[in-house]
Structure 1
Amino acid sequence: MDAESAEPGTVRPGGRTARVRAAVLQAAGDSLAERGFAHLDLADVARRAEVGKTTVYRRWGTVTGLVADLLTDMAEQSLPRTETGSLLGDLRANARLVQRTLADPRQGALFKAVIAAATCEPKTAEALHRFYDIRVSEWAPCVQQAIDRGEVPEGTDTHEVIRATSAPLYYRLLTSGDRLDEAAADRAAEAAAAAARAGAYPRSTRPSGTRPGVSRSTPRPAHVP
Protein backbone atom coordinates (compact mmCIF):
# COMPACT_ATOMS: atom_id res chain seq x y z
CA MET A 1 0.00 0.00 0.00
CA ASP A 2 1.53 3.34 -0.99
CA ALA A 3 1.09 6.74 0.64
CA GLU A 4 -1.31 7.99 -1.99
CA SER A 5 -3.84 5.15 -1.64
CA ALA A 6 -3.57 4.53 2.10
CA GLU A 7 -6.11 5.63 4.66
CA PRO A 8 -5.09 8.81 6.54
CA GLY A 9 -2.34 8.23 9.04
CA THR A 10 -1.96 4.49 8.36
CA VAL A 11 1.28 4.55 6.38
CA ARG A 12 4.56 3.51 8.02
CA PRO A 13 4.21 3.38 11.82
CA GLY A 14 7.65 4.94 12.26
CA GLY A 15 9.76 7.62 10.68
CA ARG A 16 8.70 10.88 9.09
CA THR A 17 5.12 9.79 8.38
CA ALA A 18 4.52 9.05 12.06
CA ARG A 19 6.08 12.38 13.11
CA VAL A 20 3.98 14.32 10.62
CA ARG A 21 0.80 12.55 11.73
CA ALA A 22 1.57 13.21 15.40
CA ALA A 23 2.26 16.91 14.75
CA VAL A 24 -0.88 17.36 12.64
CA LEU A 25 -3.15 15.58 15.12
CA GLN A 26 -1.70 17.59 17.99
CA ALA A 27 -2.34 20.78 16.06
CA ALA A 28 -5.87 19.68 15.16
CA GLY A 29 -6.64 18.93 18.79
CA ASP A 30 -5.27 22.28 19.89
CA SER A 31 -7.37 24.10 17.32
CA LEU A 32 -10.52 22.20 18.27
CA ALA A 33 -10.01 22.95 21.94
CA GLU A 34 -9.32 26.63 21.32
CA ARG A 35 -11.77 27.49 18.52
CA GLY A 36 -14.25 24.64 18.08
CA PHE A 37 -15.14 22.53 15.07
CA ALA A 38 -16.66 25.40 13.07
CA HIS A 39 -13.27 27.13 12.90
CA LEU A 40 -11.15 24.07 12.24
CA ASP A 41 -9.22 24.75 9.02
CA LEU A 42 -6.74 22.43 7.32
CA ALA A 43 -4.47 25.29 6.28
CA ASP A 44 -4.36 26.58 9.88
CA VAL A 45 -3.63 23.08 11.15
CA ALA A 46 -0.75 22.77 8.67
CA ARG A 47 0.64 26.11 9.86
CA ARG A 48 0.42 25.06 13.51
CA ALA A 49 2.04 21.70 12.78
CA GLU A 50 4.73 23.32 10.62
CA VAL A 51 4.06 21.01 7.69
CA GLY A 52 3.10 21.76 4.10
CA LYS A 53 -0.55 22.40 3.31
CA THR A 54 -0.41 19.95 0.43
CA THR A 55 0.65 17.19 2.84
CA VAL A 56 -2.38 17.80 5.07
CA TYR A 57 -4.82 18.06 2.18
CA ARG A 58 -3.40 14.97 0.48
CA ARG A 59 -3.45 12.74 3.58
CA TRP A 60 -6.61 13.90 5.32
CA GLY A 61 -8.58 15.59 2.55
CA THR A 62 -11.30 17.14 4.70
CA VAL A 63 -11.85 18.48 8.18
CA THR A 64 -14.08 15.52 9.02
CA GLY A 65 -11.41 13.12 7.80
CA LEU A 66 -8.89 14.79 10.08
CA VAL A 67 -11.23 14.67 13.09
CA ALA A 68 -11.93 10.99 12.41
CA ASP A 69 -8.21 10.23 12.46
CA LEU A 70 -7.79 12.31 15.62
CA LEU A 71 -10.47 10.25 17.38
CA THR A 72 -8.86 7.03 16.15
CA ASP A 73 -5.54 8.14 17.60
CA MET A 74 -7.16 9.15 20.89
CA ALA A 75 -8.75 5.72 21.22
CA GLU A 76 -5.44 4.02 20.46
CA GLN A 77 -3.53 6.18 22.97
CA SER A 78 -6.06 5.84 25.81
CA LEU A 79 -4.90 3.96 28.88
CA PRO A 80 -5.85 0.28 29.13
CA ARG A 81 -8.41 -0.89 31.65
CA THR A 82 -7.58 -1.34 35.31
CA GLU A 83 -8.49 -4.61 36.99
CA THR A 84 -8.83 -4.35 40.77
CA GLY A 85 -10.60 -7.62 41.54
CA SER A 86 -13.99 -6.06 42.27
CA LEU A 87 -16.69 -4.52 40.10
CA LEU A 88 -16.82 -1.32 42.13
CA GLY A 89 -13.05 -0.95 42.06
CA ASP A 90 -12.93 -1.43 38.31
CA LEU A 91 -15.80 0.97 37.63
CA ARG A 92 -14.28 3.55 39.95
CA ALA A 93 -11.01 3.32 38.00
CA ASN A 94 -12.92 3.77 34.75
CA ALA A 95 -14.91 6.73 36.06
CA ARG A 96 -11.83 8.44 37.45
CA LEU A 97 -10.03 8.05 34.11
CA VAL A 98 -12.99 9.64 32.31
CA GLN A 99 -13.20 12.36 34.97
CA ARG A 100 -9.53 13.29 34.65
CA THR A 101 -9.87 13.47 30.88
CA LEU A 102 -12.99 15.61 30.84
CA ALA A 103 -11.79 17.88 33.65
CA ASP A 104 -8.59 18.67 31.75
CA PRO A 105 -9.06 22.11 30.16
CA ARG A 106 -7.76 21.06 26.75
CA GLN A 107 -9.30 17.61 26.60
CA GLY A 108 -12.64 18.72 27.97
CA ALA A 109 -12.90 21.51 25.39
CA LEU A 110 -11.85 19.10 22.65
CA PHE A 111 -14.58 16.60 23.54
CA LYS A 112 -17.18 19.36 23.67
CA ALA A 113 -16.19 20.47 20.18
CA VAL A 114 -16.26 16.97 18.72
CA ILE A 115 -19.58 16.06 20.36
CA ALA A 116 -21.12 19.29 19.11
CA ALA A 117 -19.88 18.57 15.59
CA ALA A 118 -21.25 15.03 15.75
CA THR A 119 -24.80 16.35 16.09
CA CYS A 120 -24.69 17.70 12.53
CA GLU A 121 -21.78 15.94 10.80
CA PRO A 122 -22.55 12.26 10.08
CA LYS A 123 -18.90 11.34 9.46
CA THR A 124 -17.84 12.95 12.72
CA ALA A 125 -20.69 11.14 14.51
CA GLU A 126 -19.52 7.85 13.02
CA ALA A 127 -15.97 8.50 14.18
CA LEU A 128 -17.18 9.44 17.66
CA HIS A 129 -19.28 6.27 17.88
CA ARG A 130 -16.25 4.24 16.86
CA PHE A 131 -14.13 5.96 19.54
CA TYR A 132 -16.63 5.13 22.28
CA ASP A 133 -17.15 1.59 20.99
CA ILE A 134 -13.40 0.99 21.30
CA ARG A 135 -13.21 2.40 24.81
CA VAL A 136 -16.35 0.63 26.05
CA SER A 137 -15.12 -2.66 24.58
CA GLU A 138 -11.78 -2.16 26.35
CA TRP A 139 -13.49 -1.96 29.76
CA ALA A 140 -16.41 -4.39 29.25
CA PRO A 141 -14.34 -7.46 30.30
CA CYS A 142 -14.24 -6.03 33.83
CA VAL A 143 -17.99 -6.52 34.02
CA GLN A 144 -17.74 -10.02 32.56
CA GLN A 145 -15.24 -10.86 35.28
CA ALA A 146 -17.75 -9.61 37.85
CA ILE A 147 -20.37 -11.89 36.29
CA ASP A 148 -17.94 -14.80 36.54
CA ARG A 149 -17.31 -13.98 40.23
CA GLY A 150 -21.03 -13.90 40.91
CA GLU A 151 -21.10 -10.16 41.72
CA VAL A 152 -23.74 -9.36 39.10
CA PRO A 153 -26.41 -11.51 37.46
CA GLU A 154 -25.81 -13.70 34.44
CA GLY A 155 -27.05 -12.02 31.28
CA THR A 156 -25.91 -8.56 32.33
CA ASP A 157 -25.08 -6.32 29.37
CA THR A 158 -21.40 -5.62 30.01
CA HIS A 159 -21.24 -2.68 27.62
CA GLU A 160 -24.26 -0.96 29.15
CA VAL A 161 -22.67 -1.04 32.60
CA ILE A 162 -19.58 0.74 31.29
CA ARG A 163 -21.70 3.31 29.45
CA ALA A 164 -23.73 3.94 32.60
CA THR A 165 -20.53 4.59 34.55
CA SER A 166 -19.34 7.46 32.36
CA ALA A 167 -22.73 8.88 31.32
CA PRO A 168 -23.20 11.13 34.41
CA LEU A 169 -19.76 12.64 33.85
CA TYR A 170 -20.52 13.55 30.23
CA TYR A 171 -23.83 15.00 31.42
CA ARG A 172 -21.94 17.29 33.80
CA LEU A 173 -19.52 18.30 31.06
CA LEU A 174 -22.20 19.14 28.52
CA THR A 175 -25.24 20.35 30.43
CA SER A 176 -25.05 21.04 34.13
CA GLY A 177 -21.71 22.77 34.54
CA ASP A 178 -21.30 21.03 37.91
CA ARG A 179 -17.79 20.35 39.11
CA LEU A 180 -16.11 17.30 37.58
CA ASP A 181 -14.11 15.92 40.49
CA GLU A 182 -13.22 12.51 41.87
CA ALA A 183 -16.26 12.57 44.15
CA ALA A 184 -18.50 12.82 41.09
CA ALA A 185 -16.60 9.97 39.45
CA ASP A 186 -16.94 7.78 42.52
CA ARG A 187 -20.67 8.46 42.80
CA ALA A 188 -21.15 7.50 39.14
CA ALA A 189 -19.22 4.27 39.67
CA GLU A 190 -21.14 3.40 42.85
CA ALA A 191 -24.49 4.01 41.15
CA ALA A 192 -23.58 1.90 38.11
CA ALA A 193 -22.24 -0.92 40.31
CA ALA A 194 -25.35 -0.93 42.50
CA ALA A 195 -27.64 -0.94 39.45
CA ALA A 196 -25.66 -3.76 37.83
CA ARG A 197 -25.84 -5.87 41.00
CA ALA A 198 -29.61 -5.27 41.08
CA GLY A 199 -29.96 -6.57 37.53
CA ALA A 200 -30.78 -3.22 35.93
CA TYR A 201 -28.81 -3.93 32.75
CA PRO A 202 -30.09 -7.17 31.21
CA ARG A 203 -28.65 -8.07 27.85
CA SER A 204 -31.02 -7.08 25.06
CA THR A 205 -32.55 -9.69 22.80
CA ARG A 206 -32.94 -7.26 19.87
CA PRO A 207 -31.59 -8.42 16.48
CA SER A 208 -27.83 -8.26 16.07
CA GLY A 209 -26.58 -5.09 14.40
CA THR A 210 -29.34 -2.80 15.69
CA ARG A 211 -29.56 -0.30 18.50
CA PRO A 212 -32.54 0.40 20.75
CA GLY A 213 -35.27 2.13 18.77
CA VAL A 214 -33.53 1.57 15.44
CA SER A 215 -34.79 -1.09 13.04
CA ARG A 216 -32.69 -2.65 10.32
CA SER A 217 -34.83 -1.01 7.67
CA THR A 218 -34.58 2.47 9.17
CA PRO A 219 -31.46 4.58 8.46
CA ARG A 220 -29.62 5.24 11.71
CA PRO A 221 -29.50 8.94 12.54
CA ALA A 222 -26.28 10.54 13.68
CA HIS A 223 -26.33 10.94 17.43
CA VAL A 224 -24.08 10.89 20.44
CA PRO A 225 -24.21 7.55 22.28
Structure 2
Amino acid sequence: MEPQRRPGGRSARVREAVLDATTAELAERGYQGLNVDSVAQRAGVHKTTVYRRWGGPEGLVADALERASEQPWPIPDTGTLAGDLRGLAELVRVGFDDPESGPVATAFVTAGMQHPDAAAALRRFYAARHDEAAVIVARAVERGEVEPDIDADEVVRLAIAPLFHRLFITHEPVTAEQARRAADVAAALARTPRES
Protein backbone atom coordinates (compact mmCIF):
# COMPACT_ATOMS: atom_id res chain seq x y z
CA MET A 1 0.00 0.00 0.00
CA GLU A 2 1.40 3.39 -0.99
CA PRO A 3 1.79 5.94 1.79
CA GLN A 4 -0.75 8.74 1.60
CA ARG A 5 0.70 12.16 0.98
CA ARG A 6 -0.19 14.88 3.42
CA PRO A 7 -2.40 17.54 1.89
CA GLY A 8 -0.13 20.49 1.47
CA GLY A 9 3.01 19.64 3.36
CA ARG A 10 6.48 20.88 2.55
CA SER A 11 5.98 20.73 -1.21
CA ALA A 12 2.95 23.03 -1.01
CA ARG A 13 4.79 25.42 1.32
CA VAL A 14 7.76 25.57 -1.05
CA ARG A 15 5.45 26.23 -4.01
CA GLU A 16 3.69 29.06 -2.17
CA ALA A 17 6.98 30.61 -1.06
CA VAL A 18 8.44 30.41 -4.56
CA LEU A 19 5.32 31.78 -6.24
CA ASP A 20 5.06 34.59 -3.68
CA ALA A 21 8.70 35.40 -4.42
CA THR A 22 8.01 35.24 -8.17
CA THR A 23 5.12 37.68 -7.82
CA ALA A 24 7.23 40.05 -5.74
CA GLU A 25 10.09 39.90 -8.24
CA LEU A 26 7.71 40.53 -11.13
CA ALA A 27 6.28 43.54 -9.31
CA GLU A 28 9.75 44.99 -8.73
CA ARG A 29 11.63 43.97 -11.87
CA GLY A 30 9.10 42.88 -14.50
CA TYR A 31 9.45 39.77 -16.64
CA GLN A 32 12.76 40.88 -18.15
CA GLY A 33 14.29 41.13 -14.68
CA LEU A 34 12.94 37.83 -13.39
CA ASN A 35 15.65 35.28 -12.61
CA VAL A 36 15.79 32.03 -10.70
CA ASP A 37 18.58 33.07 -8.31
CA SER A 38 16.64 36.09 -7.02
CA VAL A 39 13.42 34.10 -6.68
CA ALA A 40 15.20 31.31 -4.80
CA GLN A 41 16.93 33.75 -2.47
CA ARG A 42 13.68 35.62 -1.73
CA ALA A 43 11.79 32.34 -1.18
CA GLY A 44 14.49 30.92 1.08
CA VAL A 45 15.06 27.81 -1.04
CA HIS A 46 18.02 26.50 -2.99
CA LYS A 47 18.08 27.50 -6.64
CA THR A 48 18.39 23.85 -7.72
CA THR A 49 14.93 23.30 -6.20
CA VAL A 50 13.55 26.06 -8.40
CA TYR A 51 15.34 24.84 -11.53
CA ARG A 52 14.24 21.25 -10.93
CA ARG A 53 10.55 22.08 -10.43
CA TRP A 54 10.04 25.18 -12.62
CA GLY A 55 12.91 25.09 -15.12
CA GLY A 56 13.31 28.84 -15.44
CA PRO A 57 11.46 32.17 -15.48
CA GLU A 58 8.83 30.98 -17.96
CA GLY A 59 7.94 28.03 -15.73
CA LEU A 60 7.67 30.32 -12.72
CA VAL A 61 5.35 32.66 -14.62
CA ALA A 62 3.23 29.76 -15.90
CA ASP A 63 2.73 28.38 -12.39
CA ALA A 64 2.08 31.84 -10.93
CA LEU A 65 -0.62 32.31 -13.58
CA GLU A 66 -2.06 28.90 -12.71
CA ARG A 67 -2.29 29.94 -9.07
CA ALA A 68 -3.83 33.29 -10.01
CA SER A 69 -6.51 31.57 -12.09
CA GLU A 70 -7.58 29.63 -9.00
CA GLN A 71 -8.45 32.86 -7.20
CA PRO A 72 -12.05 33.91 -7.93
CA TRP A 73 -12.85 37.11 -9.78
CA PRO A 74 -15.42 39.41 -8.14
CA ILE A 75 -17.89 39.43 -11.05
CA PRO A 76 -20.21 42.47 -10.95
CA ASP A 77 -23.96 41.95 -10.59
CA THR A 78 -25.72 45.27 -11.19
CA GLY A 79 -28.94 43.97 -12.73
CA THR A 80 -28.14 45.05 -16.30
CA LEU A 81 -25.80 43.85 -19.02
CA ALA A 82 -24.34 47.32 -19.53
CA GLY A 83 -23.81 47.80 -15.78
CA ASP A 84 -22.13 44.42 -15.40
CA LEU A 85 -19.85 44.99 -18.39
CA ARG A 86 -18.97 48.44 -17.07
CA GLY A 87 -18.06 46.87 -13.73
CA LEU A 88 -15.98 44.21 -15.46
CA ALA A 89 -14.10 46.75 -17.58
CA GLU A 90 -13.45 48.88 -14.50
CA LEU A 91 -12.20 45.81 -12.63
CA VAL A 92 -9.65 45.20 -15.41
CA ARG A 93 -8.68 48.89 -15.60
CA VAL A 94 -8.15 49.19 -11.85
CA GLY A 95 -6.21 45.90 -11.74
CA PHE A 96 -3.65 47.14 -14.26
CA ASP A 97 -3.59 50.60 -12.68
CA ASP A 98 -2.96 49.31 -9.15
CA PRO A 99 0.64 49.96 -8.00
CA GLU A 100 0.96 46.44 -6.53
CA SER A 101 -1.03 44.18 -8.85
CA GLY A 102 -0.57 46.22 -12.04
CA PRO A 103 3.12 45.49 -12.61
CA VAL A 104 2.52 41.77 -12.01
CA ALA A 105 -0.41 41.65 -14.44
CA THR A 106 1.66 43.53 -17.01
CA ALA A 107 4.58 41.12 -16.51
CA PHE A 108 2.27 38.14 -17.07
CA VAL A 109 1.12 39.56 -20.42
CA THR A 110 4.68 40.50 -21.38
CA ALA A 111 5.88 36.97 -20.59
CA GLY A 112 3.06 35.57 -22.72
CA MET A 113 4.34 37.59 -25.66
CA GLN A 114 7.85 36.18 -25.31
CA HIS A 115 7.67 32.50 -24.40
CA PRO A 116 5.33 29.75 -25.64
CA ASP A 117 4.92 28.15 -22.19
CA ALA A 118 3.97 31.48 -20.65
CA ALA A 119 1.67 32.16 -23.62
CA ALA A 120 -0.14 28.86 -23.05
CA ALA A 121 -0.50 29.63 -19.35
CA LEU A 122 -1.81 33.11 -20.17
CA ARG A 123 -4.42 31.64 -22.54
CA ARG A 124 -5.56 29.24 -19.82
CA PHE A 125 -5.70 32.09 -17.30
CA TYR A 126 -7.89 34.26 -19.51
CA ALA A 127 -10.05 31.30 -20.56
CA ALA A 128 -10.81 30.73 -16.88
CA ARG A 129 -11.57 34.44 -16.40
CA HIS A 130 -13.87 34.45 -19.44
CA ASP A 131 -15.66 31.37 -18.10
CA GLU A 132 -16.26 33.19 -14.82
CA ALA A 133 -17.41 36.36 -16.57
CA ALA A 134 -19.81 34.43 -18.83
CA VAL A 135 -22.36 34.60 -16.00
CA ILE A 136 -22.83 38.27 -16.91
CA VAL A 137 -24.18 37.24 -20.30
CA ALA A 138 -26.15 34.29 -18.89
CA ARG A 139 -27.98 36.68 -16.55
CA ALA A 140 -28.64 39.04 -19.46
CA VAL A 141 -30.17 36.13 -21.40
CA GLU A 142 -32.41 35.29 -18.42
CA ARG A 143 -33.57 38.92 -18.27
CA GLY A 144 -34.30 38.90 -22.00
CA GLU A 145 -31.70 41.56 -22.79
CA VAL A 146 -29.90 39.43 -25.38
CA GLU A 147 -30.63 36.41 -27.54
CA PRO A 148 -30.02 32.97 -26.00
CA ASP A 149 -27.51 31.90 -28.67
CA ILE A 150 -25.14 34.83 -28.06
CA ASP A 151 -21.44 34.04 -27.63
CA ALA A 152 -20.69 35.00 -24.00
CA ASP A 153 -16.91 34.88 -24.46
CA GLU A 154 -17.12 37.23 -27.41
CA VAL A 155 -19.17 39.76 -25.43
CA VAL A 156 -16.61 39.69 -22.62
CA ARG A 157 -13.75 40.10 -25.11
CA LEU A 158 -15.50 43.06 -26.77
CA ALA A 159 -15.80 44.79 -23.40
CA ILE A 160 -12.17 44.48 -22.38
CA ALA A 161 -10.17 44.21 -25.62
CA PRO A 162 -9.98 48.00 -26.14
CA LEU A 163 -8.34 48.30 -22.71
CA PHE A 164 -5.65 45.77 -23.64
CA HIS A 165 -5.10 47.55 -26.95
CA ARG A 166 -4.36 50.81 -25.15
CA LEU A 167 -2.22 49.14 -22.48
CA PHE A 168 -0.11 46.83 -24.65
CA ILE A 169 -0.28 48.09 -28.24
CA THR A 170 -0.34 51.87 -28.03
CA HIS A 171 0.99 52.02 -24.44
CA GLU A 172 -1.56 54.59 -23.32
CA PRO A 173 -3.26 54.88 -19.95
CA VAL A 174 -6.88 53.77 -19.66
CA THR A 175 -9.32 56.14 -18.00
CA ALA A 176 -12.54 55.18 -16.28
CA GLU A 177 -14.45 56.89 -19.08
CA GLN A 178 -12.66 54.84 -21.74
CA ALA A 179 -13.37 51.63 -19.83
CA ARG A 180 -17.05 52.61 -19.54
CA ARG A 181 -17.25 53.40 -23.25
CA ALA A 182 -15.74 50.03 -24.22
CA ALA A 183 -18.29 48.25 -22.02
CA ASP A 184 -21.17 50.27 -23.47
CA VAL A 185 -20.13 49.45 -27.04
CA ALA A 186 -19.96 45.73 -26.16
CA ALA A 187 -23.40 45.88 -24.53
CA ALA A 188 -24.89 47.69 -27.53
CA LEU A 189 -23.41 45.17 -29.97
CA ALA A 190 -24.65 42.26 -27.84
CA ARG A 191 -28.20 43.65 -27.96
CA THR A 192 -28.11 44.24 -31.73
CA PRO A 193 -30.19 41.61 -33.56
CA ARG A 194 -28.04 39.49 -35.82
CA GLU A 195 -28.83 39.03 -39.48
CA SER A 196 -30.03 35.57 -40.39
Q: TM-score range by the shorter chain?
A: 0.7 to 0.9
Q: For residues 193 and 6 of structure 2, what CA distance do their matches in structure 1 show?
A: 47
Aligned partner of 2:185: which letter?
Answer: A
**TM-score (normalised: structure 1):** 0.75
Matched, 1:157 2:161: no
Report if aligned partners of 2:62, 2:122 keep a CA contact under 8 Å in 1. yes
Identity within the alignment, %: 47
Report if aligned partners of 1:156, 1:199 keep a CA contact under 8 Å in 2. no
Report if aligned partners of 2:73, 2:132 keep a CA contact under 8 Å in 1. no
Which one has a larger percent helix, Structure 1 or Structure 2?
2
Are residues 199 and 137 of structure 1, via their aligned partners in 2, closer, same or farther at CA, if it must alter by over 3 Å?
Answer: farther
Number of residue pairs matched by the alignment: 193
Select the residue among 76, 97, 102 that pairs with 2:96: 102
Q: How does 1:114-133 map to 2 (within 5 A)?
A: 114-133=108-127
Question: Please, what is the CA RMSD of the aligned residues?
Answer: 2.4
Matched, 1:51 2:45: yes
Q: Provide structure 2 residue ranges, at least 5 long, that are not aligned to the other structure.
A: none
Report if aligned partners of 2:112, 2:119 keep a CA contact under 8 Å in 1. yes
Report if aligned partners of 1:80, 1:138 keep a CA contact under 8 Å in 2. no
Deviation at 1:102, TM superposition (A): 0.7
Q: For residues 80 and 145 of structure 1, what CA distance do their matches in structure 2 show?
A: 15
Q: 1:134 corresponds to which residue?
A: 128
* Runs of 4+ displaced beyond 4 Å: none
Q: 1:113 corresponds to which residue?
A: 107
Select the residue among 138, 142, 145 that pairs with 2:139: 145
Partner secondary structure for residue 70 of structure 2: helix
Deviation at 1:179, TM superposition (A): 3.1
Matched, 1:186 2:183: no
